Chain A
Amino acid sequence: MFEIGGKKLKSRLFVGTGKLPDYSLIEKMYYEAGIEVFAVAVRRIGPNTKHTKNVLEYIPKGATIMVNTSGAQDHKEAVKIAMIGRELTDSDWVKVEIEKDTKYLFPDSFETLKACEILVKEGFKVFPYIYPDLNLAKELEQIGVEAVMPLGSPIGTNKGIGCEVLLKPIINEIKIPVIIDAGIGRPSHAAQAMEMGADAVLINTAIATSADPLKMAIAFAKAVEAGRLAFEVGLLKEYEYAQASSPLEDFISG
């Protein structure tokens, strides 16, 4: 069990629901992979839109909905999306994701900070998606966000933890939870994030676009658990030369 955003959760694996081939997989992930937090996005729906199905109808009652402001170009749009989210769900969890550039989808730190200031004051549980920037993370912690979500590598790239030297200081220095978000492509990357001491990870593409999203979600859930257990025990030091595992003394004489 760990506590985040005013909730007690068992699973440290948060899952994004974008690109899923079938929304009915969400319920299966909830029951079979133990996923408790699902990220969703707000888009136009209805006539003349690509989207006809509403993902909310597929999220099990007990699950927590994290409203993602993705698509927002500035803090005003992000705040508006958060308000819509609260209007439609009981959830006050909002992932603040603001990107102006669509090539790398890097978060806009300045707009993110502004949106977080407003949303914390409005009583939201705020989860900003950020660059692995310790100074920004500290600033956000001061403001009162629930957790920070630094990227492992650019969204959807499956490249894994591309900047451990930048992420580690955030994990070490700030007291609120750190959720590694974006770029994690394999269960082993997720395990690595957890071994580093991340409190949780958020995975979307690597699960949703795999040949079997449910099986992959289970694989990620196990990797996250394994990495967390290892972190709690403490990782061992690396050595330059071999360190015998069996005793070298009292060997049989030849």
Chain B
Amino acid sequence: MNKNWAKYFAIPLVGVLLLAGCTNGNNNKAEPTQSGTPSVVPEGKPATWIADRKIKGLIFMGTDDYTEDMNPEIKERIKKETGIDYEIEIMKASRSIDGLIAGIAANDLPDFIAFYLNNSGRKEMPVVLKAAREGMFTDLTPLLKDTKVYSKYLQDDFLPLDTKYGVMFRPEFNGSTYFAHMNINREGGYDSNKYVSGPYIRKDIAEALNIDPSTIKTSEQLYELAKKIKEGKFKDNNGKEVTPIGPGYWGSDGRRDWGFLFTDLMWGAEDQRIKQTKDGKVLHEAETEYAMKKVEYFQKMLKEKLISPELFTMDESRSSEGAINGSWAIIADTHNYQDYNQDLHYLPLGPLNSVDGDYQMQVNFKSGYAAWAIPSTTKNPADVAKFADYLASKEGKLLWKYGLEGRDYTLDKDGNPLVKQEVLDLLASNPNEAKKLGFKGVNNSWGEILGSTDNHNMADFGEMEYGDKLKNDQRGQKAIDFWKWEEKRKNAVIVDGYTPVSFLGEFNKGTELKAALDNYNDSLIRAYYSKSLDEAKKVLESALKQMRAAGLDDYLKLVGDKNADPKTKVLFNPSH
């Protein structure tokens, strides 16, 4: 290469390096946050008045779950009550975490951000934790002190363990908190929905085979049932022979294991695979006999064509289509609130036992979902906290859950909302038009982002779900009755604690181990499809070797130590 060429290449390169390097030297120190000193309400303004300003949020969650379009009348009411011109934008990304990482790295965040965060073991946690440690977020503790609803977060007994010590008030933060975990119920063990999740069997097939679905308790019984279905040569709506066990209604869903199908072979939750033995040792599934037991079971099912070979790869459209067409005699996973099965032509199957023995319902004391944070660049962060508090109050919830009084509901003698029949009719006949009314009851979910916490619908509104008082056909009720949900709920154990992977963020080889754990998940599925058990064994041994190289043993010891501390108790059994 001649000198001129090198010169022409090097000069612009040096220039752009300088240019790019100089961008975003945003050495913004976390400014001392404003404490939530009570503001004086200006004369002539309502008691809910906060400030005459705009609050904008950037949401790193899917448009299926949340809505950025707000109803103008509701926006106007918010402005009138609080002075806040509220606006949210949902950042579109193929995966919400990609958007979150890019958004934080861009360091150009609005007044608040919100993101998915089921528990401190979720993949978003290390990202937001890194950002918090690096001073990207405002300390919320002083802001929450002077709020009405969120100040409950500072009470000793309000938050579940994982939310309190794993997500919000982590010991390393010395009393500070940088994320507000959401969807915390007011009372422990409160059920806002009566979910009957898991495998469902086509009713006509169960009847033809004279099978009571609730008697299927083990994976071996499920195998026998699948064989009978195969021999019965049942047909789907298109006249084609059914697949005895099909995928879950929502498709492969990131290559899940469909643990509901063989809970008696599942070592821990399917997204964790870590559990304590009876003598107190914490083990990963790969270190137990269950890994190969599952491989053996699956290979048998696949070989005898009792299960869909595409269980781990099928997209949602195809698997839902199969469920609706009756192509799967057993759907691996669905639930009672799905529209297609309100007539219960698919019956709940099981529930199957766990590796520990008979099935017992496990209910979380309280569980959080999603979170918000205020960037350290936000001016007057106290306004954002006050606004979140307004939305979390009964008045705020009434607005984002039920809409506008007079337009969408009236109040009964107890002060509870009575939904207007015409709104319910519109919701049934034209859901998209109804959504424009702009509140949760019509599936417009902008308010949940900041306002959904301290939840207790029955106490606040006199009904569990929006419009229950007017509804004749309660959604999901048939399955609830059939599965004997109430009876199981009575015998349920209420638990509180961390998930086994909650501590990856503080484990020094956490990222490496996470990659190795993910690799195990893939390897397990690969083992299901390997040609022989020996080949499968080699695949799993190799995955275990990688996990050990990434510090699995140390991590399991850490989990054991954490479990021994009452503040960081670990939940080893999945909540079914």
Chain B binds chain A:
no
Where the two chains meet, the residues of A that have a C-beta atom closer than 8 Å to any C-beta of B are none
Q: Chain B interface (Cβ within 8 Å of chain A)? A: none
